């Protein structure tokens, strides 16, 4: 078996691509400054309530069907403050949720930017 076959028959190529991804992901800035908080409940498909400095606030959930098992009360969520707009009902958007100490993206409108990395 030649060197060419060995590289493509092994996991080396996948490892190289993964390392390239890790190096590029640090340059990816999908969101402005995010807040880290704890989720309380989900009153409807597009709304999640969370706590901040002993206040209960609401945030928009951009993709209501995304990873439903992760949107349980008590989970750590990441939120992005949005610009004021008369069309918005909330000042924040939920962008990610923690699972096993790793953030998982909820804001699926940014997947094209991730795919370009």
Residue 39: closest CA among 79, 6, 12, 11: 79
What would you measure as the largest C-alpha separation in the chain, in angstroms? 66
Q: pLDDT tens across 25-77, in order?
A: 445 555 667 788 888 888 888 888 988 888 999 999 887 665 566 667 888 88
Which of the listed CATH numbers 2.40.50.580, 3.30.1300.10, 3.40.50.1820, 3.30.360.30 matches domain 34-115?
2.40.50.580
Beta strand spans in the chain (E): 34-44, 47-52, 55-60, 76-81, 92-99, 102-105
- At residue 3 the predicted structure's pLDDT band, cuts being 50, 70 and 90, is very low
Residue 50: closest CA among 60, 37, 31: 37
103: tokens are 């953030």
Could you tell me which residue, 24 or 41, shows the higher pLDDT?
41
Could you tell me which residue, 95 or 58, shows the higher pLDDT?
58
Please tell me the distance from the alpha carbon of residue 108 to that of residue 49, in angstroms, as a whole number: 19
Locate the domains of the chain by residue range. Answer: 1-30, 34-115
């Amino acid at each position: 078996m030649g060197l060419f076959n060995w590289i493509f028959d092994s996991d080396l190529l996948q490892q190289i691509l993964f390392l390239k991804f890790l190096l590029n992901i640090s340059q990816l800035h999908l969101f402005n400054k995010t807040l880290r908080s704890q989720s309380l409940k989900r009153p409807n498909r597009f709304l999640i309530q969370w706590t901040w400095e002993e206040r209960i606030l609401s945030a928009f959930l951009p993709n209501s069907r995304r990873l439903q098992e992760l949107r349980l009360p008590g989970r750590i969520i990441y939120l992005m403050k949005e610009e004021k707009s008369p069309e918005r009902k909330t000042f924040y958007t939920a962008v990610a949720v923690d699972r096993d100490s790793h953030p998982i993206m909820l804001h699926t409108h940014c997947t094209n930017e991730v795919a370009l990395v």
